[in-house]
Amino acid sequence: MAGAPPAWGVQYTLSLPSEAAARAAAAELSVMGHRLTAVRVHDHFRFAPSSASYDRPSMDPELEGWWQVFSLAVYSGYERMDLEPFFRSERLRVAHVARTHGGFEQGCVEGHAATLEEFFTRDGLVHEQPGADVALPSPLPRDPAGPPAGPPWKRSEIGEPAAVVQAVVAVAERMYGSAEDAPDAVGWLLDEEFAFGEPYGSTGEFLGDLADAVAHQGTCTDDTVAAVPFLVELLRAEGVAPGSRLVLLGDLLRLAASGPAAAVALADRIAALEYVREEPAAEYLTRRAIGSELPRLLSRWDEESAAARFVLAALTALCGLQDQRALSAPTAVPAPAGSSRADAVSLLAALLHDDREGLASALDRLASWLPGIAEKAAGPNVDPRTLGLAILPGLVLEDVTSGIAAERDLP
């Protein structure tokens, strides 16, 4: 008989405006059953002569003078995946503690409890409960079952790797001529090392490398802005297979949503610091560049597949454009009542038509079966429209990419 799984640990980090607020929050976490809780001034290693960070500039100057709480909670008796529904409620509880004392939850790290406890920095330790575990409900909560999916999309071939690479390089050559004249995110396609390198084993691998070159780990930069016209030309090129076009449209959709997604993630921090967040220039300019190019993509509306129209309508909502074709798209998407697609379409329609009541209803339905959305929506500082824009790409792309033929199905 297998033994019990090792205890799992989560170390939470809270940022608070004063030492008194930090100590009060730490006391609450200790009452919740956290094993180790420490309170330290923000960037405390900058003030320790023995530290490599001593006297260096702050990595987060906005929090100069703030305090942090580091708290280790231990959960025993279950495998990590079984604990996920409960962990969502725990993250909400910890975030509430931070907000109550004027701060925000800054993140958490997970791992085997024994390892996290061994390496827990005890400077500023204010509460210690040896062997303490957080009490778990019995039975553990479970994620709700989701509704059935919508009807299948028409199969979209992704294309052979060599053919897709050739089509992409051809667009780069036509637009820029050489690597020296291309944006940094595109120049590698015209480099000799790329031309004479090993061929790609899969189209997905190549498209993934392209997406990472345009926005490394999804982060928008000046290079991302410069690469938007190139991505649009790819979408208009004849040699790019329909499935690959859907992948590229998805890349644009995610990039356009980077600003709203960051705003949702930082909502409590923004409220605690009492300032109006200005969207980073690269995120704003990327979305504006996509919006400027979008009419060229919408001009081919009648030639697009139903799945591509769904993505284009979502892209129109994210860019704030008013286009009659996109506005009518939700009624044309095959989305039977009670399906997951119907909920995504309702969200899209509310965003396109700036329907506040429809938006609230759509978010409520989505939160009823998608715990990740419920967790985001529970934050009192999250703007509903911003949340809708942030989650729209994931909903749309999870649906439409189910219609992309797997590469193992290529003839």
Residues 316-359 have pLDDT tens digits of: 999 999 899 999 999 999 999 999 999 999 999 999 999 999 99
Q: Over pLDDT 70: what percentage of the chain?
A: 98
H or E segment to which residue 9 belongs: strand 8-16
Q: Backbone phi, then psi, for 196, in 5-degree steps?
A: -105, 15
Q: What is the pLDDT of residue 411?
A: 41
Q: Report the pLDDT averaged over residues 83-110.
A: 96
Quickly state the pLDDT bin for 44 (edges 50, 70, 90).
Answer: confident
Q: What is the pLDDT of residue 389?
A: 98
Residues 278-306 have pLDDT tens digits of: 889 999 999 999 999 999 999 999 999 99
Q: Residues 378-404, buried b or exposed e (16+ Cβ, 10 A)?
A: ebeebeeebbbbbbbbbbbbebbbebb
Planar angle of CA 356, 361, 291, nearest 5 degrees: 50
Quickly state the pLDDT bin for 57 (edges 50, 70, 90).
Answer: confident
Q: Report yes or no: 113 and 6 within 8 Å, Cβ to Cβ.
A: yes
Q: Over pLDDT 90: what percentage of the chain?
A: 86
The rounded Cα 74 to chain-centroid distance in angstroms is: 27
Q: Report yes or no: 40 and 71 within 8 Å, Cβ to Cβ.
A: no
Q: Report the pLDDT averaged over residues 270-275.
A: 92
Q: What is the pLDDT of residue 406?
A: 61
Asked whether the predicted pLDDT for residue 408 surpasses 70, the reply is: no
Q: What is the pLDDT of residue 3?
A: 72
- Closest CA relative to residue 162, chosen from 203, 191, 129, 126: 203
Planar angle of CA 131, 132, 138, nearest 5 degrees: 125
Q: Report the pLDDT averaged over residues 103-123.
A: 96
Alpha-carbon distance 213 to 105, whole Å? Answer: 32
Alpha-carbon distance 221 to 282, whole Å? Answer: 5
Query: Which positions ≥6 away from 172 have C-beta within 8 Å?
Result: 182, 186, 189, 190, 230
